[in-house]
Amino acid sequence: MNDKRTAYSKMWFLLLLLVTFVAGCASNPDEILVVPDTVAPKVSVTSPTNTAVAVPLNRKVSVGFSEAMDPATITTATFKVTGPGLTPVTGTVTTVGTTATFTPDSNLAISTIYTATITTGVKDLAGNAMANDFVFTFTTGTSTDTTTPIVIATVNADNAVNVPTNTKVGATFSEVMDPLTLTPATFALKQGITTVPGTVTYSGVNAVFTPANILATNTNYTATITTGAKDQAGNPMASNYVWSFTTAAVADTTKPTVILVNPADLATNVAINSAVHATFSKSMDPLTISTASFTLKNGANPVNGLVTYNATNKIASFTPSANLATDTTYTATITTEAADLSGNTLLEDKVWSFTTAAAIVPPIEPPASQLGSAGTYGIMATSAITNTGATTMINGDVALEPGSENGLLPAQVNGEIHINDTVSHQAFADLLVAYNYYKNLPPGVTITAGADLGALYPLGMPPGTYTSGTSMSINTHLTLDGGGDANAVWVFQIGSSITTTTPLGTISLINGANANNVFWVPTASATIGVGTTFYGTVIAGVSITGQTGALINGRLLAGAIGAGTIALDTNTVNVP
């Protein structure tokens, strides 16, 4: 009996302690027990990307982690780059927040495969080590990177009004930057001449300035990124980038939502080399979009992969490290760790599932070129050709039929120029035949409206016919993989337009792929973005634009069914 009384006394004593503790926490929130961090960090993004080709010889190698890391644990012993035969590359390692960068002591070798390894010796700030080594490879090209980085998008937009007072300020660059060069000294926010205190964070191609305090209401602010900001090859911005916005009277308390997922929830027959995408309702903080907040699982088994965030389109992408299994159900999750630029998190986890195809069904592979006499032309238009670049060069023939406005000088054409003659007339007739031929091929793999081909096929796009009733885009590096077949053919049937963006939308060919066998057939228009390297023949129903510095290894043939115009700006067109 006494033993029972003793037990009851202890139980009531412990209960009293618990009630006292809870009451104390309610009155003293600062004393609430903090749950320790036991989650192992992961690599979220790499630069160069895994299996990247034509990497500039003067590039650094960087990785972004899912959380802030302990810099003391990231050294040349835990972040290693090796060449052929596991020969170590000498260099130094720096860490800023979530990003670690390996800087080689000298330029890398030409056309060489390199391997980067992050070992389990790296730890986060809580002392948690990575669960497994992370390894990726890339192949260098033959030249160095001398391209000046530019800002391609900002948050908030220039001259924006009614901006929430608790906003962060963001910028997206045309290429991966050196995080050591992005600080409050190079990315600043001012109200008049008064500098706003704050911090700068960086992930992928996105930099974010976080003010130390909520901004003033109904006030104009100016953000500036200076020429002190440099890319990973050491190229600085050519000039300061400046934009302004005006705050509202209130803070933003609206939680973001996921408004679109791809593959769709409960989708079936999903290609095994698909990436997984989610589009948000508002701009998100890139540091909160990582392998910690965006996961993919097969049952309880996590899928290894990397996570990127496209600030321009508000799209997060999970790219598996290898092809998914066939006939398997996968579950994607974005957790409430994902937050917008005002710090508002998702209301609840976003969870959706999809099932992969039972077998690999190859795309319909079309026949090769049907261009006829149009095949010798680098440029062809049926209304006008304009050019604003003194160094534009067309290595191939040029035709204008009909029309009279030709903005190219004879010295800018390494070939023949035909304007409203019997030769150009035949070439235009052959162009229309080719356009109708490729448009009337049986539809191939369906591409959803506006989809980014590089993101849809992160492991390489096999030959075949690809069809969209509206538009296609290339916002992420796209690799066309011939699989060892020199006769492999790609046809892109596009209901409206094809657009590539800056150097991020560059195309490369591997394993026998040939630019002569790549055909882009938009009903309306094509825009080849600033600095893009593009492969293939564009047969546009109406117009084609080559933006500043775009390199086209193929043909630009416009006006198959309408008044075709071609606008060039410092472009080179090389007929294969």
Which is more confidently placed, 117 or 407?
Answer: 117
Q: Phi then psi for 133, rounded to 5 degrees? A: -60, 145
Residue 4, pLDDT score: 44
| Closest to 326 in 3D by CA, of 295, 353, 302, 360 | 360
The whole-angstrom separation of Cα 330 and Cα 517 is: 35
549 close to 530: Cβ distance less than 8 angstroms:
yes
429 close to 422: Cβ distance less than 8 angstroms:
no
Residue 5, pLDDT score: 46
Q: Please determine, for residue 425, whether its predicted confidence score (pLDDT) is greater than 80.
A: yes
- Domain assignment of residue 146, yes or no: no
Q: Please determine, for residue 271, whether its predicted confidence score (pLDDT) is greater than 80.
A: no
The whole-angstrom separation of Cα 89 and Cα 59 is: 13
Residue 35, pLDDT score: 72
510 and 401 within one domain = yes
Q: Please report, to the nearest 10 degrees, the dihedral formed by the alpha carbons of residues 287, 288, 290, 291 taken in order.
A: 140
- Domain assignment of residue 467, yes or no: yes
408 and 376 within one domain = yes
The whole-angstrom separation of Cα 508 and Cα 414 is: 24
Pairing of strands 393-395, 405-406: unpaired
35, containing H or E segment: none
Residue 270, pLDDT score: 79
Residue 209, pLDDT score: 97
- Domain assignment of residue 38, yes or no: no
- Domain assignment of residue 377, yes or no: yes
The whole-angstrom separation of Cα 5 and Cα 1 is: 6
CB neighbour list of residue 574: distance below 8 Å, 6 or more residues apart: 378, 395, 396, 551, 552, 553, 554
The whole-angstrom separation of Cα 318 and Cα 291 is: 8
Confidence bin at 233 (pLDDT 50/70/90): very high
Q: Please report, to the nearest 10 degrees, the dihedral formed by the alpha carbons of residues 260, 257, 41, 94 taken in order.
A: 90
351 close to 338: Cβ distance less than 8 angstroms:
no
The whole-angstrom separation of Cα 536 and Cα 488 is: 13
Where is the domain boundary, 321, 356, 391? 356
- Domain assignment of residue 350, yes or no: yes
The whole-angstrom separation of Cα 120 and Cα 73 is: 10
Percent above pLDDT 90 for the chain = 62
Question: Could you read off the pLDDT of 387-414 as tens digits, one per residue?
Answer: 998 999 999 999 998 767 788 999 999 9
Confidence bin at 370 (pLDDT 50/70/90): confident
CB neighbour list of residue 58: distance below 8 Å, 6 or more residues apart: 107, 108, 144, 145, 233, 234
Q: Please determine, for residue 20, whether its predicted confidence score (pLDDT) is greater than 50.
A: no
Residue 364, pLDDT score: 57
296, containing H or E segment: strand 294-298
Six-digit token pair at 366? 């079309």
- For the segment 70-88, the average pLDDT, to the nearest whole number, is 95
Where is the domain boundary, 226, 247, 268? 247
Which is more confidently placed, 533 or 272?
Answer: 533
Task: Express the helix, strand and coil content of the chain in percent, nearest 5 each.
Answer: 15, 40, 45
Q: Indicate the range of 13-22, 30-39, 487-496 predicted with least confidence.
A: 13-22
- Domain assignment of residue 252, yes or no: no
The whole-angstrom separation of Cα 320 and Cα 90 is: 30
What does the DSSP 8-state code read for residue 17? H
464 and 563 within one domain = yes
- Domain assignment of residue 367, yes or no: no
Confidence bin at 359 (pLDDT 50/70/90): low
Confidence bin at 263 (pLDDT 50/70/90): confident
Name the average pLDDT for the chain: 88
Task: Residue 101: give its domain's CATH number.
Answer: 2.60.40.1220
| Closest to 155 in 3D by CA, of 208, 228, 217, 192 | 208
Q: How many domains does the chain have?
A: 5
The whole-angstrom separation of Cα 497 and Cα 488 is: 24
- Domain assignment of residue 364, yes or no: no
Confidence bin at 363 (pLDDT 50/70/90): low
Confidence bin at 13 (pLDDT 50/70/90): very low
447 and 313 within one domain = no
Q: Please report, to the nearest 10 degrees, the dihedral formed by the alpha carbons of residues 551, 556, 558, 560 taken in order.
A: -150
| Closest to 62 in 3D by CA, of 177, 148, 143, 139 | 177
Using a 10 angstrom Cβ sphere, with 0-12 exposed, 13-18 middle and 19 or more buried, the burial of residue 426 is: middle
- For the segment 473-501, the average pLDDT, to the nearest whole number, is 90
CB neighbour list of residue 426: distance below 8 Å, 6 or more residues apart: 373
312 and 406 within one domain = no
Where is the domain boundary, 247, 276, 294? 247
399 and 481 within one domain = yes
Which is more confidently placed, 178 or 406?
Answer: 178
AA identity, residue 556 = L
521 and 378 within one domain = yes
Which is more confidently placed, 366 or 280?
Answer: 280
318 and 458 within one domain = no
- Residue 334 CA from chain centroid, whole number: 18
Domain, as residue range, for 240: 151-247
Residue 23, pLDDT score: 44
How far from 17 is each of 4, 11, 29, 522, CA to CA, in Å? 20, 10, 17, 73
514 close to 496: Cβ distance less than 8 angstroms:
no
The whole-angstrom separation of Cα 491 and Cα 70 is: 48
Percent above pLDDT 70 for the chain = 91
Using a 10 angstrom Cβ sphere, with 0-12 exposed, 13-18 middle and 19 or more buried, the burial of residue 502 is: buried
Q: Please determine, for residue 1, whether its predicted confidence score (pLDDT) is greater than 70.
A: no
71 and 26 within one domain = no
Q: Please determine, for residue 567, whether its predicted confidence score (pLDDT) is greater than 60.
A: yes
Indicate the length of the chain as a whole number. Answer: 576
Residue 485, pLDDT score: 84
- For the segment 515-535, the average pLDDT, to the nearest whole number, is 94
Confidence bin at 21 (pLDDT 50/70/90): very low
552 and 450 within one domain = yes
506 and 383 within one domain = yes
522 close to 545: Cβ distance less than 8 angstroms:
no
Residue 6, pLDDT score: 44
Place of tokens 């010889």: 57
Residue 248, pLDDT score: 96
79 and 114 within one domain = yes
| Closest to 220 in 3D by CA, of 184, 194, 187 | 194
